């Protein structure tokens, strides 16, 4: 399992909920209806990356913590 850094650009989050639907053990909405990471290892890597891809505003950035490579959004 890769160590992923998950960064949420909160101003970009529109509370669409796609990330939570896809990876409910990793993401949640806080009381301000902005996504937060509840557990960076809550779902497997592919599911977390899929959740980031499902965000309509690209508010979730995923970085490989070992290499520093940005996995999503693709650069
Ligand atoms: S999918 Fe994107 S816009 Fe929707 S809750 Fe998650 S971070 Fe926010």
- Domain containing residue 51: CATH number: 3.30.70.20
Nearest to 52 by CA among 30, 15, 25, 27: 27
Look up the pTM and report it.
0.95
pLDDT confidence tier of residue 75, bands split at 50, 70 and 90: confident
> Exposed, middle or buried: residue 47 (CB in 10 Å: 0-12, 13-18, 19+)?
middle
Most ligand 1 atoms within 8 A of CB, residue of 9, 19, 37 to mutate: 19
pLDDT of the residue at 19: 98
Does position 29 have pLDDT exceeding 80, yes or no? yes
* 70 CA from centroid of ligand 1 (Å): 18
What is the domain count for the chain?
A: 1
Domain enclosing residue 16, as ranges: 4-72
As separate numbers, helices (DSSP H) first and strands (DSSP E) second, the chain gives: 2, 5
Give the pLDDT mean for 53-75.
Answer: 96
């Amino acid at each position: 399992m890769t160590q992923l850094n998950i960064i949420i650009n909160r101003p970009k989050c529109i509370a669409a909920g796609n990330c939570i639907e896809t990876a409910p053990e990793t993401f949640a909405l806080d009381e301000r209806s902005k996504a937060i990471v509840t557990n960076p290892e809550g779902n497997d890597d592919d599911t977390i990356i899929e959740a980031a891809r499902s965000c309509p505003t690209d508010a979730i950035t995923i970085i490989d913590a070992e290499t520093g490579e940005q996995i999503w959004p693709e650069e």
